[in-house]
Structures are given as structure tokens and as C-alpha cells.
Amino acid sequence: MRKVSMEEMAAYCNRYGFIFQGSEIYGGLANTWDYGPLGTRLKNNIKDAWRYFFIQIRENSYELDSDILMNPTVWKASGHIDSFTDPLLDCKECKTRHRADNLINDFDATINTDTLSEEQMVNFIIAKKVPCPKCGKSNFTDIRKFNLMFATQRGTTQETLSTIYLRPENAQGEYVNFLNVLRTMRTKLPFSIGQIGKAFRNEITPRNFTFRTIEFEQMEYQTFCKKGNDEDLYDYFKDYGMKFFEYIGLSKECLKFKDHEKLAHYAKAACDIEYLFPFGWGEINGTHNRTDFDLRMHQEFSGKSMEYFDTETNEKYIPYVIESTYGVDRLVLAILFESLVEEELESRDTRLVLKINPLLAPIKVNILPLIKKRHTEMAKKVYSELQKYFMVSYDDANNIGKRYRRGDAIGIPYSVTIDDTTLKNNTVTVRDRDTMQQVVVPVDELKSYLSDSMSF
Ligand code: GAP
């Protein structure tokens, strides 16, 4: 069994309709990607799995859908205007801009840049004569801080234009709605607000296909709690993250925790879960102890009290927040790398197969009439019945072997063949994607057979 490289993955995603280059017909826009029909289904299935795991089966857990554009004071209060920056420097020779930490890590992957100050990074680059990856010379400007937020203008006239920002994280939507959710859901601490939504960052060095992009989707989850309960909850959500990844089918040996040494401006403690991609370990989740920082800052800047009245102790206090955040696009990529393999068959032939967890499979069942005209009517009947319960596809092109291969390549867990026996006995042949074993199932029992097999 062979896993695929990053280049092969990008080609696969394009060929089978998972991910296309953004604005492709215009030559693209660097580092933007569009999800095709299968990629969109995969993304939605990941989001549904998150909703189940975080919203549905957890108590006091509420979903929100807040706007991307927010009052700009939100970003002043949150610290993003002042502190959400990357350390950048320019090559004086070829004028390319680089992130100082990436420059160092590309030169020597063993250096932990999290522990280096800006001055130490500059000294390292000079002492080691770290070369520019573009022109090979080592002649850089000083490090400058570069804000990662995309700014845009809002207003009806030139004079009234004001700067607003595309949100760089969706968490602030949860914080500014803390009081609204508390009031309308009549809830108590600890409670959680989760949100799935787009975030935007002007990443200067996008790389690795969809891993680091300027527009991406996050599934963020904020648990508001009493100070003192925060450290236990922090540990709890680190483990819950691992459980979620096992639930969606990421293997344990490709996952690890990584504690942050350099903390974001809002965090008291932070730990990532990383996945082993072909380019190395990469963050797919973060758990952060954000203390009462965000709510306290919003109280200060908005003038609105963010205090919670604890009826058990008769105390008033600003809650602490434990954040558990997931990047949807990075999860799509991790799931694809986890599942896509080239497998050698007994016949010495190979097949490309996406051994994806059926829960996430974009299409669950493939309906295959063996002979086009003779079996079409019955196949269409089975197709429309199953469509009520599953995402089903219908394929009557090429020979049955080719149709199996295409279904395997896009991860369809079960193929249902309609042939003369179906017309005679009202049974179909169901083929399992992974084992390639076939079983005969009465048409009347097909729905429950498939539901049981996929544990739906
Ligand atoms: N609210 C906290 C926060 O935004 P983060 O670690 O900066 O924390 C959370 O981002 C998650 O969003 C990451 O774990 C990652 O999965 C995803 N993410 C962050 N930047 C990204 C980018 N440029 N492209 C794709 N995904 C990104």
C-alpha cells in the first residue's frame, strides 16, 4: 500500500472534483482554492461530524452564526490590531518578502523558532548567512511586524469611509454574543458556544496546497467557565480533540500533541494537535486557555458588563474561556491523506482507493446497472429509493470493473449491482470498497443492510 505525495494529492483533488485552483480560468489567484462537488460534500460531512460531537452530544452547547464583518473596535479590544502580526523581512537583492521564522526553519528544521526573540532571529540569520530561498543571497532588511488582517473600506462617501476588517478568527463572534446566548438560552456556567465560519489572514508565505491559505474555514468552540475550573477543562478539551479525530477516522500514530512555548497575546496555555502530513507535522487543532482576557477587554472597550452572576455562590465575575479550534480545510487535507492509497491487487494490478470513513464519504452508495438498457428501469428504482436516505450516485458508463475503480478512487463505500438476478429474484450484489467482497442482498433489505454496514 502506498501513500501519495502532496503533488499527487493536488492532482487527484483536481481530477476527481474535490479541490480546484481558485479563479482557474483567469490563471488563478495565488493560494485560493475552490471546493468541487466531492470536496464540498466532504467538507460538509466533517462539519456535520463536528456538530454532532460538539453541539449535539454535549450539554449546554450552542451554535452561532455571526457575521464576518464586525465593528472594528472588536479588533482593537481583542488585541488583533496591535498584536496579530508576523515577523517579516525583505531580501534586499531580489525584493522577496519572507517570514523570519520560516526562513530559519527552511535553513535548519531543528531550530525551535518559538523560543527566539526577533533580535535572536536576526542575529541567527546574519551569523549563519541564511540564504534567500529565491536568489540565494543573504542580505535582508530588519524584521518588521506585518499585520495579518485584511482591511477593507466601508462608507457611502470618500469622507465617511472607515476601515473594517475581515475577521481573522471567528472566536470574537462568540465572545461578543456571550451575553445574548446566556440570556436567551437561560443557561449556566459552564456552557459553550461553537461556530463554523470563514476566517481570513494575509499569510505572506502560503504553502502546501490548502494547508496555509488566506481564506479558510474554522470550527471554533468556546467554553465559558469559572476561574479555577479552567485548567481541568483545558485538559479535557485536549483529550476531547483526540477523541474527535479518532471518531472521524484519523489514526493515532499520525497525531500528536504539541505544547506552545510562544503564546498568542490572549493565551495562558496553548496546545496543538498535529497531523503527520507528507511535508511533516502540521497543526490541525488548537486548545487555548484564553483566561478572562477577551471578555474583560470587550467589557473595557464596549462599556458593557461581561460579568456573570453565580447563583450558587452569589458572586459576580468575568468567566474564563477555554477555546478548542479546528481548521476545516486542514481536516479535509488530513482525511484525504489518511485515506488515499495506491493498493497492489492479487492480479498485480494496482487500484487507487480512498479508504475514507463511511461517515465522511462524499457518496455512500454507487448504483450500477450491469447492462445499460436491460437493467436501467430496476436500477433507477433502487436509486430513487436509496436517495431518500443516502447520497447515492448512478453510473452506467464503461464496463463494471472500470466503474468499481472509479467508485473506489472517490471513496464510495458500497457499490450495488443490478443484473438479471435482480430482475428474477429481487436481489442485488453489494460490493464492499475495502475488502472488495460481494454479498447478495434482497432489495427489500438493502436500505437496512447499508445503514447497518455504515453504522448510520
Ligand atoms: N481562535 C483561535 C485561532 O484562530 P489559530 O491556531 O490561529 O487559533 C485555529 O487557528 C485553526 O485554524 C488552526 O488550528 C488551523 O487548523 C486553522 N488555520 C489557521 N490559520 C490557517 C490558514 N492560514 N490556513 C488554513 N487553516 C488555518
List pLDDT tens digits, range 238-258.
Answer: 999 999 999 999 999 999 999
Identity at 162, one-letter amino acid code: S
- Does 328 sit in the ligand 1 pocket, CB within 6 Å? no
What is the model's pTM? 0.94
Give me the pLDDT at residue 131, please: 94
Ligand 1 pocket residue status of 330, Cβ below 6 Å = yes
Reading the block at residue 58, the C-alpha cell is 454535549
Q: Is 167 in the pocket of ligand 1 (CB under 6 A)?
A: no
Which fold would CATH assign to domain 85-147? Herpes Virus-1 (3.30.40)
Could you give the CA distance from residue 213 to residue 168 in angstroms, rounded to a whole number?
12
CATH homologous superfamily of 363-451: Anticodon-binding domain (3.40.50.800)
Neighbours of 347 (CB within 10 A): 7
Determine the atom of ligand 1 nearest the C-alpha atom of 216.
Answer: 25
At residue 253, the pLDDT reads: 97
Closest to 321 in 3D by CA, of 396, 399, 389, 264: 264
Cβ–Cβ < 8 Å for 234, 103: no
Is the CB of residue 322 less than 8 Å from the CB of residue 220? no
The alpha carbon dihedral of 361, 42, 13, 148 has a sign of: negative
Question: 2-65+171-292+302-337 has which fold?
Answer: BirA Bifunctional Protein; domain 2 (3.30.930)
Ligand 1: atom nearest CA of 327 is 16
SS3 412: coil
Distance from the CA of 327 to the center of ligand 1, in angstroms?
6
In the chain, which residues have pLDDT < 50?
Answer: none
Q: Which atom of ligand 1 is nearest to the CA of 331?
A: 16
Distance 218 CA to ligand 1 centre (A): 7
Contact predicate 258/270, CB 8 Å: no
Distance 363 CA to ligand 1 centre (A): 28
Q: What are the backbone angles phi and psi of residue 313, rounded to the nearest 5°?
A: -115, 0
Indicate whether residue 215 lines ligand 1 (CB < 6 A).
Answer: no
429: enclosing H helix or E strand? strand 427-432
Beta strands in 157-254 (DSSP E): 162-165, 191-200, 215-225
* Bridge pairing between strands 191-200 and 215-225: antiparallel
pLDDT of residue 206: 65
How many angstroms separate the alpha carbon of residue 456 from the centre of ligand 1?
31
User: Cβ neighbours of residue 223 under 8 Å, at least 6 residues apart?
Assistant: 190, 191, 192, 233, 237, 321, 322, 323, 324
Q: How far is CA 186 from the centre of its chain?
A: 31
Helices (H), 304-371: 328-339
- Beta strands across the sheet bearing 340-344: 2-3, 340-344, 350-354
Task: Look up residue 333 and give its DSSP letter.
Answer: H
Closest by CA position to 178, among listed 49, 268, 297: 297
Closest C-alpha residue for ligand 1 atom 15: 327
| Residues 6 or more apart in contact with residue 132 via CB below 8 angstroms | 91, 93, 94, 96, 98, 103, 138, 139, 140
CB 287 within 8 A of CB 237: yes
Cα–Cα nearest to 280, from 193, 359, 207: 207
Nearest one of 34, 41, 49 to 363, comparing CA atoms: 41
* Residue 321 · residue 223 · CB < 8 Å: yes
CA distance 81 to 191: 28
Quick: pLDDT tens for 197-240.
999 999 887 679 999 999 999 999 999 999 999 999 999 999 99
Closest protein CA for atom 20 of ligand 1: 212
Between CA 111 and CA 115 the distance in angstroms is: 9
User: How many whole angstroms separate alpha carbon 192 and alpha carbon 96?
Assistant: 43
pLDDT of residue 424: 97
CB 87 within 8 A of CB 100: yes
Which of 330, 333, 335 maximizes ligand 1 atoms within 8 Å of its Cβ, making it the mutation to test the pocket? 330
3-state secondary structure of 68: coil
The CA-to-CA distance between both ends of the chain, in Å, stands at 28
Cβ–Cβ < 8 Å for 6, 208: yes
The contacts of residue 246 (CB under 8 Å, 6+ apart) are: 252
The answer, yes or no, to whether any atom of ligand 1 lies below 6 A from the CB of 121, is no
Q: Is the CB of 216 under 6 A from ligand 1?
A: yes
Distance from C-alpha of 451 to C-alpha of 444, rounded to nearest angstrom: 13
Domain boundaries, the chain: 2-65+171-292+302-337, 85-147, 363-451
Residue with cell string 527566539? 116
- Ligand 1 atom closest to 288 (CA): 2
How far, in Å, CA of 258 to CA of 283, rounded? Answer: 9
Give the C-alpha distances (Å, rounded to integers) separating 35 from 15, 17, 210, 431: 12, 8, 11, 28
Count of beta carbons in the 10 Å neighbourhood of residue 377 = 11
Distance 309 CA to ligand 1 centre (A): 33
The closest residue, in CA terms, to atom 11 on ligand 1 is 327
Atom of ligand 1 nearest to the CA of 217: 26
Nearest CA to ligand 1 atom 14: 285
